[in-house]
Amino acid sequence: MKATVLASGSKGNCTYLEGENTALIIDAGLSARETLTRLECAGGNPELIEGILVTHEHSDHISGLDTLARKLDVPVLATQGTLWEFESKRNPKSRSKEISMIPLKTGNIFEFAGFRIKPFSTYHDAIDPCGFKIVQNDSRFGFCTDTGQITEKMEAELFGCDAVVLESNHCPVMLENGPYPKFLKERIRDKKRGHLSNTAAGEFIKRSNGDIGEIILAHLSQENNTPEKALTSAKTSAGLSVDDILFEVSLQDKVCETIRI
Ligand SMILES: [Zn+2]
Ligand SMILES: [Zn+2]
């Protein structure tokens, strides 16, 4: 497999995952046009895409979903709660055009387009948010953003992956001293429904003990983080395993380096 994070952050998230003869999109928070432009830049092939996986219904993950799913004529795969929320948010004009939706159950493996997809629950202020472990042949890819914490159950899915897209949302010090109102700071820090800090991402990396081949830091806050801070924190946390892990930082405005899994 190969994966390219086309965009990552609170203004839009989208990742392209290509397997042997098929491909998936994970989250569709860019406009359909921007998604296809970036896909072309990344050397991806839209004709291979067979489905769009969605982590949760926040607009930075679904704002382009309706158009993209219709344009590519592929189903949307997400938990039932996310699908209901998406359906209710659809523009009445486009709602008359049906989109095929496939409900996924967290904890259950779903075979689709040559991929084994296992969604797992995350901790976020959405109806039924999830991350994904996606396997093809011997390649294992993990996707875990928009979560206030990573539990042991989630670690069981992510440890051992060849590559993981991992949220590293904010530097706790920058968030504390930053411009956000108190309620928003508290929401972001909330373990049950917020976002993962550089520190929490670092603790996860430390616990993984070098058992993840490549880590792509993702969903960095543009106000409360910097790519340098996120990367330094992740590398420091890796300790002696630092040379065994490849690190990338995905950004909002730039297509990330394609990684081979
Ligand atoms: Zn998000
Ligand atoms: Zn979110």
Q: Is residue 89 exposed (0-12), middle (13-18) or buried (19+ Cβ within 10 Å)? A: middle
pTM of the model: 0.97
| C-alpha of residue 126 to centroid of ligand 2, in Å | 7
Instruction: Decide yes or no: CATH 3.60.15.10 for domain 2-260.
Output: yes
pLDDT at 158: 98
90 contacts 66 by C-beta, under 8 angstroms: yes
Alpha carbon 174 to its chain centroid, in Å, reads: 23
| C-alpha of residue 240 to centroid of ligand 1, in Å | 31
pLDDT at 94: 80
- pLDDT by residue, tens only, the chain of 261 residues: 999 999 999 999 999 999 999 999 999 999 999 999 999 999 999 999 999 999 999 999 999 999 999 999 999 999 999 999 999 999 888 887 889 999 999 999 999 999 999 999 999 999 999 999 999 999 999 999 999 999 999 999 999 999 999 999 999 999 999 999 999 999 999 999 999 999 999 999 999 999 999 999 999 999 999 999 999 999 999 999 999 999 999 999 999 999 999
Q: Which of 202, 219, 217, 211 is nearest to 245 (CA)?
A: 211
pLDDT at 91: 86
| C-alpha of residue 173 to centroid of ligand 2, in Å | 21
| C-alpha of residue 164 to centroid of ligand 2, in Å | 18
| C-alpha of residue 59 to centroid of ligand 2, in Å | 8
Instruction: List all residues 6 or more positions away from 246 whose beta carbon is below 8 Å from its beta carbon.
Output: 213, 214, 215, 259
What is the 3-class SS of 30-84, one letter each residue? CCHHHHHHHHHHCCCCHHHEEEEECCCCCHHHHCCHHHHHHHHCCCEEEEHHHHH
| C-alpha of residue 147 to centroid of ligand 1, in Å | 9
| C-alpha of residue 140 to centroid of ligand 1, in Å | 23
DSSP letters for 83-99: HHHHHHHS-HHHHTS--
pLDDT at 95: 81
The encoded tokens of residue 9 equal: 């952050």
pLDDT at 93: 83
pLDDT at 222: 96
- Please name the amino acid found at residue 198: N
- Residue 64 CA: distances (Å) to CA of 27, 47, 128, 167, 225: 9, 18, 20, 21, 25
Signed CA dihedral, 148, 232, 15, 113: sign only: negative
Which ligand approaches the C-alpha of residue 11 most closely? 1
The residue whose two tokens read 């429904």 is 193
Signed CA dihedral, 25, 11, 106, 256: sign only: positive
